[in-house]
Amino acid sequence: MAIDHVIINVNDYAAAKKFYAWLMPLVGYQNSTSFDQPGVDATTGYFGEHGSFWIRPSDKEFRADKFHRHRVGLCEIAFGAASRKQVDDLAKQIPANGGKVTDAPREYDYVPGYYAVFFTDPDGLKLELAHIPR
């Protein structure tokens, strides 16, 4: 069994839609759909081989809240990379697409050969693209 889907709430839905429309195809979620019609909660989903990833606007009462990875709840979302080159290529594009690189691509001591870039989305949600030799 695996995780079927992940849903994140975002403060700036338009900025998040633009950012994730760029990111998700690069990490294996090639197809998408949006529900932005009047009377329907706005959501956008990205679909890949191993499930789906969704964004939706946060409720207005929580829009002043900021993400922090050390609070109860989500710490980060890590996507798997096919190669170190994929990590390097993505890292170069992050700032131009609305994200921020927090830790440039390099090897980490988690397991031998672990190579990753850490970055944030427009709301500051911590993301990672990691290549882990199997």
**Cα(44)–Cα(61) distance, rounded to whole angstroms?**
21
User: Domains, the chain, ranges and CATH?
Assistant: 5-59+74-131 (3.10.180.10)
**Cα(75)–Cα(94) distance, rounded to whole angstroms?**
20
pLDDT at position 124, please? 95
Q: What is the pTM of this model?
A: 0.91
Is residue 44 within 8 Å of 32, Cβ to Cβ? yes
DSSP string over 63-119? TT----TTSSS---EEEE-SSHHHHHHHHHHTGGGT-EEEEEEEE-TTSTT-EEEEE
133, with CB counted inside 10 A (0-12, 13-18, 19+), is: exposed
Q: In this predicted model, what pLDDT tens digit does every residue of 77-105 receive, in sequence order?
A: 999 999 999 999 999 999 999 999 999 99
pLDDT at position 42, please? 85
* Residues of the chain predicted below pLDDT 70: 37-40
pLDDT at position 37, please? 65
**Residue 128 φ then ψ, to 5°:** -150, 145
Among the listed residues 99, 102, 83, 105, the one whose alpha carbon sits nearest the alpha carbon of residue 24: 99
**Residue 84 φ then ψ, to 5°:** -65, -35
